[in-house]
């Protein structure tokens, strides 16, 4: 800890240096000053923890120095030295910012004792600050993680209504895409190296962090990770005027920075420009299809919009029909629908087949997650099917694997519904609530989503969880609200929106009823505890 000694008499400054084994006590005298003004000038130039100052000095005395120091450098601890005639007056004045008063000539043991008290206080403050910074990073990371998860949800999961989706984007401060008519592109970035397995594994986390930083530097751009694709990060980019291509600043920066900082190559697939949130999945798959046309090897590549001229027939109605065949346990109807959209009689191009097959695979992956069957075996099946799609010459094998995957999900849905006490169904519902607690959710919509009777769902939920549905949802939202309130950068209304309340007043009422204090009071109590 760094110390400045301020006294107009050089002999006293020398004496103070000799009274203490400074380094053994954890201190270092970095400068000396002959008056208060010199001390303030030094504080502007360097980081200092402690100033030991005399009261009587020319130009600016110790009393005036303490007042200005406390105003300009509130974290600096000050020990005031004074002669016998001034001591009682100075000590009784209780000047704000002074940590100790010592009578001159200073006894070594008293100075050491004062320094130890200050060191202990500084260490506690630094620990509290570290904990506070860690909490802020944790909450900020939690918000970033929620954004990433929701972007992934948009491109791979079963959707709620469009108005609900737009509202959730606004809650997550993703306003760049909270527009029904927004234009955007996806970019898929894979990293490749000569020693691929070991090198890429070690560099994966730095690569992911680097992509986040690059995204922050470009307006309307966010990155996210899809565990289905190894060694890849995906970007979503709002298109205001010029669409992305191989010469765009974002693309060039990704290639240049990854090569410069990590010494590995990038293979980048640029998707086509799509309009409207309902085109999210199409835009995402178009970037993946562009990437799939890359050459093998570790050389850097950029592939642009390979599916720009294609026309694809995979409407929301077709997706809903497929979902219903699985959730109503109708395996034969699923097979018929798959052959109708992917069979040879369609006379579609290989690229069109790959696009539709990916849409079906995404849908099946979402259902596997919904019904908690994303096991190693299922994930391997999904991955193998994905590999067959990229091969572009295994159409029959792709259809067979999609049907097999659907059969596995139907079997699990049937087992869940036939369970005697409803444990499996309730666990699926509970897991869904954990992911979507901020959405507008009712018991009726949940029952419809899982194709069961709402009265039955209410009964088994209360029986297995020990709370009724509405109480459980409120508790879940309140627990997340507590975590977000620890980030002082988030307004109360922001926190309310993040946990599913459109009205901050109602949110505060529910919070106080749940915890016995308002969100503002809770936030103040957290600051006091720190």
Instruction: List pLDDT tens digits, range 395-454.
Output: 888 999 999 999 999 998 888 888 767 888 898 899 889 888 888 888 998 888 888 889
267, 114, 96, 292: which is closest to 196 by C-alpha?
Answer: 267
pLDDT at 241: 80
Residues in the chain: 530
pLDDT at 343: 82
pLDDT at 134: 60
pLDDT at 525: 85
Mean pLDDT, rounded, for 290-306: 84
What DSSP letter does each residue of 269-318 carry, written as one string? EEPPPEESGGGHHHHHHHHHHHHHTPPSSSS-EEEE-TTTT------HHH
pLDDT at 171: 84
Q: Give CA torsion, residues 186, 311, 277, 322, to 10 deg.
A: -110
pLDDT at 200: 79
Q: Select the highest-mean-pLDDT range: 48-62, 70-84, 146-160.
A: 48-62
Band of residue 85 on the pLDDT scale cut at 50, 70, 90:
low
Kind and range of the H or E run holding 408: helix 395-418
pLDDT at 360: 93
pLDDT for residue 137 is more than 60:
no
Band of residue 332 on the pLDDT scale cut at 50, 70, 90:
very high
pLDDT digits (tens, 9 = 90+) for 193-234: 765 455 777 888 889 999 999 999 999 999 999 888 888 999
Band of residue 132 on the pLDDT scale cut at 50, 70, 90:
low
pLDDT at 177: 92
pTM: 0.64
pLDDT digits (tens, 9 = 90+) for 145-177: 888 989 998 998 877 778 888 888 888 889 899
What mean pLDDT value characterizes the chain? 86
Band of residue 392 on the pLDDT scale cut at 50, 70, 90:
low
Distance CA 112, CA 292 (A): 69
**Range of weakest confidence among 262-266, 308-312, 328-332:** 308-312
pLDDT for residue 381 is more than 80:
yes
- The percent of residues above 70 in pLDDT, for the chain, comes to 91
pLDDT for residue 87 is more than 80:
no
Mean pLDDT, rounded, for 1-24: 92
Band of residue 183 on the pLDDT scale cut at 50, 70, 90:
very high
Query: 10 Å Cβ neighbour count for 359?
Result: 21
Q: What is the 3-state secondary structure (H, E, C) of 416-448?
A: HHHCCCCHHHHHHHHHHHHHHCCCCCCHHHHHH
Instruction: Answer with the residue of higher pLDDT: 102 or 309.
Output: 102
448, 455, 465, 452: which is closest to 413 by C-alpha?
Answer: 452
Band of residue 306 on the pLDDT scale cut at 50, 70, 90:
low
pLDDT at 317: 85
Q: Is 401 exposed, middle or buried (0-12, 13-18, 19+ CB in 10 A)?
A: buried
pLDDT for residue 138 is more than 70:
no
Query: 10 Å Cβ neighbour count for 136?
Result: 14
């Amino acid at each position: 800890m760094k110390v400045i000694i301020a006294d107009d008499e050089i002999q006293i400054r020398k004496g103070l240096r000799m009274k203490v084994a400074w380094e053994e006590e954890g201190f270092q005298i970095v400068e000396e000053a002959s008056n208060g003004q010199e001390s303030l000038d030094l504080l502007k130039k360097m980081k200092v923890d402690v100033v030991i100052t005399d009261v009587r000095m020319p130009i600016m005395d110790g009393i005036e120095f303490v007042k200005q120091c406390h105003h300009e450098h509130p974290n600096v601890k000050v020990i005031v030295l004074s002669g016998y005639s001034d001591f009682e007056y100075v000590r009784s004045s209780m000047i704000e910012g002074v940590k100790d008063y010592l009578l001159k000539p200073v006894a070594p043991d008293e100075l050491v004792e004062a320094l130890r008290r200050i060191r202990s206080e500084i260490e506690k403050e630094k620990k509290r600050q570290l904990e506070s910074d860690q909490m802020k990073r944790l909450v900020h990371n939690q918000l970033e993680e929620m954004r990433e998860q929701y972007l992934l949800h948009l491109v791979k999961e079963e959707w709620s209504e469009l108005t609900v989706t737009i509202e959730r984007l606004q809650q997550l401060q993703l306003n760049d895409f909270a527009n029904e008519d927004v234009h955007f592109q996806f970019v898929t970035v894979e990293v490749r190296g000569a020693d691929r397995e070991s090198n890429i594994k070690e560099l994966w986390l730095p690569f992911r962090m680097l992509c986040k930083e690059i995204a922050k530097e470009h307006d309307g751009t966010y990155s996210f990770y899809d565990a289905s694709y190894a060694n890849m990060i995906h970007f979503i980019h709002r298109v205001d005027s010029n669409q992305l291509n191989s010469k765009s600043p974002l693309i060039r920066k990704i290639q240049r920075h990854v090569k410069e900082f990590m010494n590995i190559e990038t293979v980048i697939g640029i998707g086509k420009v799509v309009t409207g949130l309902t085109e999210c999945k199409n835009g995402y798959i178009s970037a993946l299809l562009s990437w799939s046309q890359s050459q093998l090897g570790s050389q850097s590549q950029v592939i642009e919009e390979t599916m720009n001229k294609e026309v694809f027939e995979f409407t929301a109605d077709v997706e809903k029909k497929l979902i219903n065949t699985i959730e109503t346990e109708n395996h034969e109807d699923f097979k018929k629908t798959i052959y109708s959209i992917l069979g040879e009689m369609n006379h579609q191009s290989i690229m069109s087949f790959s696009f539709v097959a990916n849409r079906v695979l995404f849908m099946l992956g979402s259902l596997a997650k919904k019904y908690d069957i994303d096991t190693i075996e299922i994930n391997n099946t999904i991955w193998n099917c994905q590999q067959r799609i990229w091969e572009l010459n295994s159409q029959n094998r792709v259809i067979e694997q999609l049907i097999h995957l659907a059969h596995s999900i139907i079997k699990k849905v049937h087992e869940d519904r036939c369970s005697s006490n409803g444990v499996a169904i309730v666990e699926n519902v509970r897991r869904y609530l954990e992911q979507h607690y901020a959405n507008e959710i009712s018991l009726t919509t949940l029952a419809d989503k899982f194709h069961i009777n709402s009265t039955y769902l209410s009964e088994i939920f209360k029986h297995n969880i020990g709370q009724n549905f509405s109480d459980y949802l409120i508790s879940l939202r309140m627990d997340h609200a507590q975590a977000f309130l620890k980030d002082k950068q988030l307004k109360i209304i922001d926190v309310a929106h993040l946990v599913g309340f459109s009205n901050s007043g109602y949110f505060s009422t529910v919070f106080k009823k749940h915890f016995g204090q308002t969100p503002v009071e809770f936030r103040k109590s957290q600051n006091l505890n720190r």
